[in-house]
Structure 1
Amino acid sequence: MSQQGSLIGRIALVTGSGSGIGKAVAERFAIEGARVIIADRDATAARETAERIGDSARAVVMDIADEQSVVDAFAELTAADLAPNVVVANAGVQLFGSDAPIADLELDTWRRTIDVNLTGTFLTVKHAVRSMLTTGGGSIILTGSPTGINGEGRDFTAYSSSKAGIHGLGRAVAAAYAEQNIRVNTVVPGYTETPLVTAISSDREARAAITSRIPLGRPGTPADVCGAMVFLAGDDAAFATGALFTVDGGMTTL
């Protein structure tokens, strides 16, 4: 349901918006009146999403695990008078087939996951804050996971740990920069069917097993996440910071 242009006047950067949740959020932000920046390490995917949205979108290449790439992207936007006042740190990975319980987890898998999910979010937020300190503040939204709250991801040690770290990062940054009018919140989607989780969604038994643990009885879709993101990006959430907003079909109630 549209919130009737609630993001008019916003410039919103969404990482990982070449596909999945990020793409859906960027498209919804544009519908709500925002100018959207499609940030993705995949230049082709970023360009295609921007073209799909139209004139209110601009593509920028950003590899969140590479600080220079993040710096360059923010500098490009600032030079174009497009410094964002909304940043959604959404990009991430889940390494199915190699992430595992800790006794079986290889250090390389741990490092690759932490480098993208936690360090990449850190770098995105770091440079978002630096930009917002010069422009009067804004809203930063992180993408968390139920696996960072309960034992839902017990077989995915690296991913679960990275998401728990993101939750803690959001609270720390929210407390540190509230006086500078920078709000930081974390949206926690449950099992959401995107290209990231094809290993589950394409396996009938695995999909049924995880769906059975969702009280609302179905997987999430990227569209399910968009409303919470729109709320947190806009003025209706002016008094919300440092919070976790679960959009998980009730997974974290169990």
Structure 2
Amino acid sequence: MTARLETKTALVTGAGSGIGRSVAESFAREGARVIFSDRDRAAAESAAEAWPTAIAIELDISDEQSVAHAFEKLEADGFAPDVVVANAGVQLFGHDAKVADLDLDVWKRTIDINLTGTFLTVKHAVRSMLGRGGSIILTGSPTGLNGEGQDFTAYSSSKAGIHGLGRTVAAAYASEGIRVNTVVPGYTETPLVTAISGDEAARAAIVSRIPLGRAGQASDVEGIMIYLASDESSFATGALFRVDGGMTTL
């Protein structure tokens, strides 16, 4: 069977752990040359070392100089990506809160990394893809669609902004052959959410709101990410793909 991504070069942000690592590894299994990027260089290198066609880079998505330099260097080295997964982000448990209780610094840090960082990743991905096309995939959240994140004002707002960014960029660059789609994972047990997964009552409460009756795993989004990275999805752009166990149907 032909590997579905064997002609692709893919950059995944936040690939040192969690969903980013799982997706980057799945791309490598499907034959892509994969750039594992993370603010934590050691984590990126550890994740990439098992894959002969992979490389690792340090990338701080909240710093435009870091993002711009990364895309310039990748192009110079023959690794200009055909696929970019803008996945890196934070959720500041214990600090993010309902709006009346939210500190401005927590708001700014969350928006700087999640929304501005995604904007910068998409901006330079589009610049890199002009004249040749490509696929950009954003990582959204149910908290940007419904009231699931009522105690996480900054995070929920950042994800809603990402959903809007994806639609806007998809419409702006469809004529250039650049597709932009957003994947919306549900509650997914990764290092990002240990504050929930390590609390039996909190975990049970959130799983009870998932119609399929279980927590998500990072591997649950691999299939849709591979589809959107591949030419099989050539007519898909500007869309939200929910992989949330039915959470947002309630």
TM range (shorter): over 0.9
- Which residue matches 2:13? 15
> Could you say which residue in structure 2 is the equivalent of 1:74?
71
RMSD between aligned alpha carbons?
A: 0.8
Structure 2 residue aligned with 1:185: 181
Q: Where do 1:113-152 residues align within 5 Å?
A: 113-134=110-131, 136-152=132-148
1:200: which partner in 2?
A: 196
Q: Gaps spanning 5+ residues in structure 1: where?
A: none
Q: Summarize the alignment of residues 148-159 of structure 1 with structure 2, pairs less than 5 Å apart.
A: 148-159=144-155
Read off the aligned partner of 1:48 and give its amino acid letter.
S
1:252 is displaced (CA, Å) by 0.3
**1:104-148: per-residue Cα shift (whole Å, max 9, x none)?**
0000000000000000000000000000004x0100000000000
Equivalent AA in structure 1 for residue 168 of structure 2 = A
Residue type of the partner of 2:106? T
Give, in angstroms, the shift of residue 4 of structure 1. Answer: 4.7
TM-score using structure 1 length = 0.97
Q: Please report how far the alpha carbon of residue 75 of structure 1 lies from its aligned counterpart in structure 2 after TM superposition.
A: 1.1
**Moved >2 Å (runs of 4+):** none
Q: Whole-Å Cα distance in 1 between the matches of residues 7 and 233 of structure 2?
A: 16
Once residues 67 and 55 of structure 1 are traced to their aligned partners in structure 2, the CA distance between those partners, rounded to angstroms, is 29
Q: Paired residue for 1:32, among 30, 37, 42?
A: 30
Give the secondary structure class of the aligned counterpart of 1:140. strand
Distance 1:201 1:165 in 2: 26
What secondary structure, in the 3-state scheme, does the structure 2 residue paired with 1:139 have?
strand
Gaps of 5+ in 2: none
TM-score by length of 2: 0.99
Deviation (angstroms), 1:235: 1.0
- What secondary structure does 2:49 align onto? helix
